[in-house]
Amino acid sequence: MFHFSRRSLARAALAACVGFGMGAQAQTQPVQTYSILSLLDYSGPFANRGKPVEQMQRLLVDWFNETRGPKAGIKLEFKPVDTGYDQAKTVQAYERALQDKSLVGIVTFGSPNVIAIQNRLPQDKIPAVHGGPAYSLMKPGSWVFAPLGDYARYFAAATKWRLSTWTESRPLKIAFVTFDGSSGRDWAQGVQNRIKGMNAQVTLTEFVSPRALDVAANVEHIIAANPDLVFLATTDQLQPAILKELKANKFDMGKVVNSQHEGLGLLELLGVPKDAYEGTYEVTTENYVDQGTEAYKIYAARQSKYSTRWAADTLLHFPSVMVLLEAIERAQVKAGKAPVTGAAVYAEMRAGTFNGYGLLSKIQFDVDTDPTQGVDSAVMLRQVNGKITRVGDLLPLVK
């Protein structure tokens, strides 16, 4: 028979409690820690978006770490850097990031990021998810995934939508107005390609310097072209200026379609007078006017802690981050407790269909044959009596 003193029993009980606590803690502590690099613009032409976009991305990574990461045995570290919307700075940031062996994915911001690193990603085995439109420069087999797909698809869908009520035999005349940069030129060429075979033609392509302070001459060109439809796909500074100038010249604003990266919701947040864009449309894949979606609930429950906004510019990056988070989670589930690599995350993105959380419809990639494919539909919105309203049903995008 063994005898235990009260002190030894107390010690044993304490040890049991400590051991139980450590075991419980071990079950909730992350098994693997990975880092995500975000290439942003704090100093270039989209500098005023840098911090709000970063904060939206951080909100989503924190949400994952709080809600899904512990169950999957994952903790993610979010690492934003400034590239100034510049290829050379992007390369420098990318090379520094590769020194971190926990890096499993990258979120890009604009075409300079994609151009700078897309040829490096396959050899370094790191996937990137683009927070913006796909580009024609993305070749089959790309390691860059674009949930939003190709903007030219949106413009083509909006053109079809307008043609559905077009009664004239002559082609619909389109003015495509964008900023003079790699993205703008890519979109312009894409529109020309996507509307082939339609009873429509681009009669004016207007490239505006992203640093232009006076757009009067550009608006003169638009008015002189006498278009039936005007697509505006510019920048935070140019979009308000062009809209105000068109309005001042008594242009029919019902002919104007804003691009989703400079959409109606963002114009309101930028403080643009609503009468300057009253009657204009927006073609977008983002169902941001619906506040009943899972995406909005995730944002609304946490937004007070972050300096961000529920608007087109930040929401371009919502699906990019969520796709990457989901791909990392899927890769970890398959790997069990073993660490995963960027290659494993790439495999999940390449093979899977992803949740748009109600903000977007279904997302499915086909990088082997068409890396510009992502979301499958868009909607038309319109500014009516100072409010954003949805117009019609989902518009299928060209595959």
- Strand, helix or coil at 391? strand
48 in Cβ contact with 118 (< 8 Å): no
Which tokens belong to 71? 């169950």
Which run of H or E residues covers position 56?
Answer: helix 47-67
Cβ atoms < 10 Å from Cβ of 189: 15
Res 311: pLDDT: 85
Q: Compute the distance between CA of residue 238 and CA of residue 219 in angstroms, rounded to an integer.
A: 11
- Strand, helix or coil at 300? helix
Residue 9 in any domain: the answer is no
Q: Both 82 and 178 in a single domain?
A: no
Containing structural domain, residue 210: 151-284+379-396
Paired strand residues for 233: 178
Beta strands in 298-372 (DSSP E): 353-354, 363-364
Which run of H or E residues covers position 378?
Answer: strand 377-384
Residue 261 in any domain: the answer is yes
Q: Both 82 and 113 in a single domain?
A: yes
Q: Compute the distance between CA of residue 138 and CA of residue 122 in angstroms, rounded to an integer.
A: 13
Q: Both 103 and 160 in a single domain?
A: no
Sites in the chain below the pLDDT cut of 70: 1-30
- Phi, psi (degrees; rounded to nearest 5) at 24: -65, -40
Residue 143 in any domain: the answer is yes
Res 30: pLDDT: 63
Q: Compute the distance between CA of residue 202 and CA of residue 173 in angstroms, rounded to an integer.
A: 6
Q: How many residues does the chain have?
A: 399
- Structural domains counted in the chain: 2
Q: Both 59 and 131 in a single domain?
A: yes
Which tokens belong to 268? 């309101």
Res 135: pLDDT: 87
Q: Compute the distance between CA of residue 57 and CA of residue 3 in angstroms, rounded to an integer.
A: 60
Q: Compute the distance between CA of residue 359 and CA of residue 1 in angstroms, rounded to an integer.
A: 69
Q: Both 182 and 268 in a single domain?
A: yes
Residue 175 in any domain: the answer is yes
Return all residues near 224 (Cβ < 8 A) that are at least 6 apart.
none
What is the CATH number for 71? Answer: 3.40.50.2300
Expressed in percent and rounded to 5, the helix, strand and coil fractions of the chain are 45, 20, 35
Q: Both 253 and 386 in a single domain?
A: yes
148 in Cβ contact with 319 (< 8 Å): yes
pLDDT in tens, 7-42: 444 444 444 444 434 444 444 556 899 999 999 999
Q: Both 263 and 157 in a single domain?
A: yes
Q: Both 135 and 67 in a single domain?
A: yes
Which tokens belong to 352? 């899977």
141 in Cβ contact with 180 (< 8 Å): no
Res 115: pLDDT: 93
Res 29: pLDDT: 56
CA-closest candidate to residue 367, choices 340, 348, 344: 348
Q: Both 180 and 263 in a single domain?
A: yes
The sign of the dihedral angle between the CA atoms of 230, 147, 305, 104 is negative
Q: Both 157 and 90 in a single domain?
A: no
Q: Compute the distance between CA of residue 134 and CA of residue 148 in angstroms, rounded to an integer.
A: 7
Q: Both 234 and 135 in a single domain?
A: no
Residue 3 in any domain: the answer is no
Determine the straight-line distance between the first and last CA of the chain, rounded to whole angstroms: 80
Residue 20 in any domain: the answer is no
141 in Cβ contact with 362 (< 8 Å): no
Cβ atoms < 10 Å from Cβ of 15: 10
Residue 226 vs residues 92, 173, 174: alpha-carbon distances, Å: 46, 8, 9
Find the farthest-apart pair of alpha carbons in the chain and give their distance in angstroms, rounded. Answer: 105
Which tokens belong to 68? 């899904």
Q: Both 251 and 359 in a single domain?
A: no
Q: Compute the distance between CA of residue 97 and CA of residue 108 in angstroms, rounded to an integer.
A: 13
Q: What is the pTM (predicted TM-score) of this model? A: 0.82
